Amino acid sequence: MRKNIVAGNWKMNNDLKATRKLVKQIRKSIKGEDLNNTRVIVAPTFVNLATAVKRSKKSKLEVAAQNMHQATNGAYTGEISADMLKSIGVKTVILGHSERRAYFGETDALLAEKVNAALANKLEVIFCFGEELADRKAGNEEAVVEGQIKNALFHLDANAYKNIVLAYEPVWAIGTGETASPEQAQDMHAFIRKTLSAKYGNDVADSVSILYGGSVKPANAKEIFSKADVDGGLIGGASLKAEDFHAIITAF
Ligand code: PEP
């Protein structure tokens, strides 16, 4: 059975002190909780990953990185490799976030390389993709999403999907307060599963967790997560407050 996942993408927020505090609060908030098949992940900035890993040990909280470089090592000033993440106990990496695509020029081809590097190092990948507002207005959202998935992931064999989580994040809903309706999310998630099934068969399609991301809040999480093909959320703004994040985790 595929897992539900609630993952908090902290982006460029929280210094060391704030990281310690928020990790502690989240740990505490889920300690006695029956998480009902739900994994809970937070993704702090690179400099605070080691602290977050240390401080979430022996708890139900997992830690992910927000990005990584595709090369093993070498002259890539300012970059971080999969191996480095692994060496501090990180097991999951977010790749393809729309902010990485928009502000740092990450293309599907580059992301395919990053996915390969992550999987080769036995890191789990939370792979993000989603259409822009203009795509949706033009009725092209399915074609765009299909292209992003095919270009970055369809070179993989079926076995690789044991370590892939998909995160559908319509760009127009990220950090805007505008959320896809539960029906829009369900329609797209069902389409994504159909696309996976056409390439890899039903077993793979049914086993991959597909998260929704885009202005998920305590007030709308329950309805979005109630949809059959929505297996959780990638949460930005609302993951920065322990109380809101906890309310979203327990929305399942
Ligand atoms: C995100 O950055 O992945 C995200 C979904 O952000 P927000 O929840 O703030 O829209």
Residue closest via CA to ligand 1's atom 6 equals 236
State the average pLDDT over residues 220-241. Answer: 97
Over residues 109-136, the pLDDT tens digits come to 999 999 999 999 999 999 999 999 999 9
- Please check the confidence at residue 140 and state whether its pLDDT lies above 90: yes
Substitution site in 5, 42, 169 for ligand 1 pocket (most atoms within 8 Å of beta carbon): 169
Residue closest via CA to ligand 1's atom 7 equals 236
- Please check the confidence at residue 177 and state whether its pLDDT lies above 90: no
Q: In a 3-state reduction of DSSP, which class is residue 105?
A: coil
Identify residue 188 by its one-letter amino acid code. M
- Please check the confidence at residue 33 and state whether its pLDDT lies above 90: no
Q: In a 3-state reduction of DSSP, which class is residue 174?
A: coil
State the average pLDDT over residues 199-213. Answer: 98
Q: Which residue has the tokens 């692994």?
A: 86
Contact predicate 129/92, CB 8 Å: no
Contact predicate 93/126, CB 8 Å: yes
Show the ligand 1 pocket: residues with CB < 6 angstroms. 9, 169, 174-175, 213-216, 234-238
Rounded to the nearest angstrom, the distance between the alpha carbon of 112 and the centre of ligand 1 is 22
Which sequence positions are flagged as catalytic? Answer: 97, 169
Residue closest via CA to ligand 1's atom 8 equals 236
Over residues 51-107, the pLDDT tens digits come to 999 999 999 999 999 999 999 999 999 999 999 999 999 999 999 999 999 999 999
Distances in Å between the alpha carbon of 66 and those of 52, 182, 223?
A: 13, 26, 27
pTM of the model: 0.97
pLDDT for position 32? 86
Rounded to the nearest angstrom, the distance between the alpha carbon of 150 and the centre of ligand 1 is 23
